[in-house]
């Protein structure tokens, strides 16, 4: 018999003649290929796809992956938000796929269209739609305790079918499900009606009287664009103030004197970013450092917050030309950051135009041709543009029944409690991108999506190599985390007196969007998994079955150095 030269030959030699056979595989050998279903092909689903396909190629053997996307294209947020003025409020160079940052953004802040084109180009370049099934809507997910799998019902236009998965990962997004505002009689309106997240680009808004309801980040971008259309008259309905503020002249980061709020990159700068990867990385690093160092500003009543709020009020007053009524109505008295800060170039200035009117009131009703406010005034309009936000209940957009028949939509109807935004009690083998209390209140969401993807892979690796059947975050761990998070939030500006979707639009309500701490703390917390927070069940009755035949894979390869651990 010749000498064994491969791991399997060594193993065969070793196993032959054993009286008490153990599995003919070394310790930590995966016993099954994990079937994973991800919902959504926005940044979350696509970053996860990149990890599985490229960054961690070993997962090609360990997993099989399907992404179901209900819409006809990839891109999520940036596919559907096509309203005039749609723009990112974090610098473009840091709102980008971490594995392939774009060197040639046009401006400091990118438009929605540019982001979507970049997503499409990156998907093509990296084949990220390999596992994406478009026009496939997930309708239901039922946990099957006996086989430790999710039974998932998917609808694809031709009918519904069932898919089984060991892990169900939600990339459904936070600001994804829009709805009409609570305005009585809105359905009776005979003019043109649209929502920021479903904008009709074919409609000609010029020479029309347009009611824009809402002054969140979407509303403040829409108003100045509509106000610039020929013959258009814009009535902006708002019921609570909002900071519209830009901190500094961003061109300074490139040692340029340009004072523009959203400066264009020069061709030379784009060229340098393309050719000099170190320069590009250092530039992005500078922006990220600046964003992370701003977290102190979000501490309620801190010197930084007081100072920055004051600067914001001054900047707003200047842009409103110190008009006493506009300033009184539009400038908040709560701390800067309580609602998402948006730069919205030209928004405040547009209220000096003759064709823009501010109505500070709740829109409570609509008739065939007008909107009616809570104070009973009526305004005749041709168009009602609702920039009134999204369903921010955090509930899954499908029926989801977990362990012991717990219904997540019912559980989260009152208070969406998550495990560090990544999972939920009684929902085994389930991970969430940007779940409740994710880092959505400050900075670029892309970074936390990336950290979350790495976190999920750590668990998947453990599950497959230690022959784990199911993992479920423990309820008491979640409850304590919420309690501690709330206490930290009490010190942060999001619990100030503003109305915002971070608190599900209930002033004084619990902060359900936003991690209780800095982005860097979130990163540290999810950098390693904490198995002690989970209920773990194993495939075998003996949890140590993954020890296999008692050998490590490494020592079975005759070519390997078996003294590799010697350090000194």
Ligand X SMILES: NC(=O)c1ccc[n+]([C@@H]2O[C@H](COP(=O)([O-])OP(=O)(O)OC[C@H]3O[C@@H](n4cnc5c(N)ncnc54)[C@H](OP(=O)(O)O)[C@@H]3O)[C@@H](O)[C@H]2O)c1
Ligand Y SMILES: Cc1cc2nc3c(=O)[nH]c(=O)nc-3n(C[C@H](O)[C@H](O)[C@H](O)COP(=O)(O)OP(=O)(O)OC[C@H]3O[C@@H](n4cnc5c(N)ncnc54)[C@H](O)[C@@H]3O)c2cc1C
HEC secondary structure over 286-316 = HHHHHHHHHHHHHECCCHHHHHHHHHHHHHH
CB 100 within 8 A of CB 125: yes
Q: What is the DSSP string of 476-540?
A: HHHHHHHHHHHHHHHTBGGGSS---GGGTT-TTS---SS-SS-HHHHHHHHHS--GGGEEEEESS
CB of 285 to ligand Y, least distance (A): 18
Token code pair at residue 90: 């974090």
Among 183, 234, 320, 356, binds ligand X (CB under 6 A): 183
Nearer to ligand Y, 89 or 361 (CB): 89
Burial grade of 422 (CB within 10 A; 0-12, 13-18, 19 or more): buried
Among 25, 26, 36, 43, binds ligand Y (CB under 6 A): 43
Radius of gyration of the chain (CA): 27
Token code pair at residue 539: 């495939």
Residue 40 interacts with ligand Y (CB under 6 A)? yes
Token code pair at residue 501: 């979707």
Residue 81 interacts with ligand Y (CB under 6 A)? yes
Distance CA 152, CA 142 (A): 6
CB of 70 to ligand X, least distance (A): 20
Residue 244 interacts with ligand Y (CB under 6 A)? no
Give the list of residues 6+ apart from residue 277 with CB closer than 8 angstroms, or none. Answer: none
Q: What binding mask, one character per residue, do residues 363-402 give for ligand X by CB under 6 A, x or -? A: x-----------------------xxx-------------
Q: Which does 388 bind (CB under 5 to 8 A by kind): ligand Y, ligand X, none?
A: ligand X
Give how far the C-alpha of residue 507 lies from the chain's centroid of Cα atoms, to the nearest Å: 23
Q: Helix and strand tally (H, E) in the chain?
A: 14, 19
CA dihedral 523, 528, 533, 535 (to 10 degrees): 130
Distance CA 395, CA 397 (A): 6
Interactions with ligand X, residue window 184-213 (CB under 6 A) = 196, 213
Q: What binding mask, one character per residue, do residues 433-452 give for ligand Y by CB under 6 A, x or -? A: xx---------xx-------
Distance CA 328, CA 316 (A): 11
Strand partners, 423: 419
Nearer to ligand X, 397 or 472 (CB): 397
Nearer to ligand Y, 81 or 512 (CB): 81
Strand partners, 211: 235, 384
Q: Which does 445 bind (CB under 5 to 8 A by kind): ligand X, ligand Y, none?
A: ligand Y
Residue indicated by tokens 């390869």: 557
Among 88, 326, 358, 385, binds ligand X (CB under 6 A): 88
CB of 123 to ligand Y, least distance (A): 12
- Residue 54 is given by DSSP the state I
CB of 37 to ligand X, least distance (A): 27
Residue 455 interacts with ligand Y (CB under 6 A)? no
Among 206, 266, 378, 505, binds ligand X (CB under 6 A): 505
Q: Which does 105 bind (CB under 5 to 8 A by kind): ligand X, ligand Y, none?
A: none
Burial grade of 532 (CB within 10 A; 0-12, 13-18, 19 or more): exposed
CB of 514 to ligand X, least distance (A): 10
Nearer to ligand X, 470 or 518 (CB): 518
Interactions with ligand X, residue window 304-363 (CB under 6 A) = 340, 342, 362-363
Scanning 7-15, 35-43, 52-60, 144-152 for contacts with ligand Y by CB under 6 A, the matching segment is 35-43
Q: CA nearest 463: which of 27, 24, 34, 26?
A: 34
CB of 336 to ligand X, least distance (A): 14
Q: Which does 433 bind (CB under 5 to 8 A by kind): ligand X, ligand Y, none?
A: ligand Y
CB of 25 to ligand Y, least distance (A): 37
Q: Which does 181 bind (CB under 5 to 8 A by kind): ligand X, ligand Y, none?
A: ligand X
Among 205, 243, 245, 398, binds ligand Y (CB under 6 A): 398
Residue indicated by tokens 């020929």: 230
Query: Helix 43-50 vs helix 112-126: angle between axes, to the nearest 10 degrees?
Result: 30
Scanning 37-45, 201-209, 271-279, 362-370 for contacts with ligand Y by CB under 6 A, the matching segment is 37-45
CA dihedral 256, 259, 261, 264 (to 10 degrees): -40
Write down how long the chain is: 568
Scanning 53-61, 141-149, 237-245, 473-481 for contacts with ligand X by CB under 6 A, the matching segment is 237-245
Q: Burial code of 52-62, b = ≥16 C-beta within 10 A, e = fewer? A: bbeebeebeeb
Distance CA 152, CA 131 (A): 16
Q: Which does 350 bind (CB under 5 to 8 A by kind): ligand X, ligand Y, none?
A: none
Scanning 76-84, 260-268, 413-421, 548-556 for contacts with ligand Y by CB under 6 A, the matching segment is 76-84
Residue 42 interacts with ligand Y (CB under 6 A)? yes
**Residues contributing to the site for ligand Y (CB under 6 A):** 39-45, 68-71, 76-77, 81, 86, 88-90, 95, 137-138, 171-176, 218, 397-398, 433-434, 444-445
**Residues contributing to the site for ligand X (CB under 6 A):** 87-89, 175, 181, 183, 196, 213-219, 221, 237-240, 340, 342, 362-363, 387-389, 499, 501, 505
């Amino acid at each position: 018999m010749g000498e064994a030269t491969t791991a399997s030959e060594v193993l065969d030699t070793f196993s032959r003649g054993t009286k008490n056979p153990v599995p003919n595989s070394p310790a930590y050998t995966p016993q099954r290929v994990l079937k994973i279903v991800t919902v959504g092909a926005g940044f979350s689903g696509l970053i996860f796809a990149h990890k599985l396909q490229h960054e961690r190629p070993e997962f090609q053997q360990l997993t099989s992956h399907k992404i179901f996307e209900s819409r006809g294209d990839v891109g999520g947020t940036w596919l559907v938000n096509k309203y005039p003025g749609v723009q990112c409020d974090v610098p473009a160079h840091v709102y980008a796929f971490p594995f392939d940052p774009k060197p040639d953004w046009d401006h400091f802040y990118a438009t929605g269209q540019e982001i979507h084109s970049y997503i499409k180009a990156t998907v093509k370049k990296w084949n990220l739609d390999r596992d994406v099934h478009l026009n496939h809507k997930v309708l239901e997910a039922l946990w099957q305790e006996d086989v430790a799998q999710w039974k998932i019902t998917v609808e694809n236009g031709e009918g519904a079918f069932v898919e089984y998965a060991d892990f169900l990962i939600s990339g459904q997004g936070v600001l994804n499900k829009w709805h009409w505002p609570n305005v009585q009689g809105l359905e009776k309106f005979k003019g043109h009606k649209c929502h920021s997240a479903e904008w009709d680009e074919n409609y000609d808004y010029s020479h029309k009287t347009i009611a824009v309801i809402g002054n969140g980040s979407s509303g403040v971008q829409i108003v100045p664009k509509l106000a610039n259309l020929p013959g258009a008259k814009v009535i902006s309905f708002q019921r609570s103030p909002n900071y519209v503020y830009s901190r500094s002249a961003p061109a300074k980061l490139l040692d340029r004197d340009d004072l523009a709020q959203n400066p264009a990159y020069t061709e030379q700068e784009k060229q340098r970013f393309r050719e000099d990867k170190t320069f590009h990385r250092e530039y992005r690093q500078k922006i990220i450092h600046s964003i992370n160092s701003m977290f102190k500003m979000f501490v309620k009543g801190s010197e930084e917050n007081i100072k920055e709020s004051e600067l914001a009020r001054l900047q707003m007053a200047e842009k409103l030309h110190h008009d006493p009524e506009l300033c009184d109505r539009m400038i908040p008295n709560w701390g800067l950051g309580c609602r998402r800060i948006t730069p919205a170039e030209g928004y405040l200035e547009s209220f000096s135009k003759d064709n823009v009117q501010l109505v500070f009131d709740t829109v409570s009703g609509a008739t065939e041709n007008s909107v009616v406010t809570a104070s009973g005034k009526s305004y005749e309009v041709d168009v009602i543009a609702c920039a009134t936000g999204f369903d921010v209940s955090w509930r899954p957009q499908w029926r989801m029944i977990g362990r012991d028949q717990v219904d997540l939509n019912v559980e989260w109807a009152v208070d969406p409690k998550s495990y560090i935004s990544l999972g939920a009690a009684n929902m085994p083998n389930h991970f969430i991108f940007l779940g409740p209390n994710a880092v959505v209140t400050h900075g670029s969401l892309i970074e936390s999506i990336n950290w979350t993807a790495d976190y999920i892979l750590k668990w998947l690796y453990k599950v497959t190599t230690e022959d784990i059947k199911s993992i479920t975050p423990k309820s008491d761990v979640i409850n304590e985390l919420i309690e501690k998070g709330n206490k930290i939030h009490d010190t942060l500006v999001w619990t100030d007196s503003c109305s915002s979707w971070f608190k599900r639009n209930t002033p004084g309500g619990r902060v359900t969007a936003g991690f209780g701490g800095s982005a860097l703390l979130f990163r540290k917390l999810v950098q390693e998994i904490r198995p002690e927070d989970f209920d773990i069940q194993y495939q075998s009755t003996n949890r140590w079955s993954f020890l296999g035949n008692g050998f490590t894979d490494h020592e079975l390869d005759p070519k390997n150095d078996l003294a590799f651990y010697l350090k000194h």
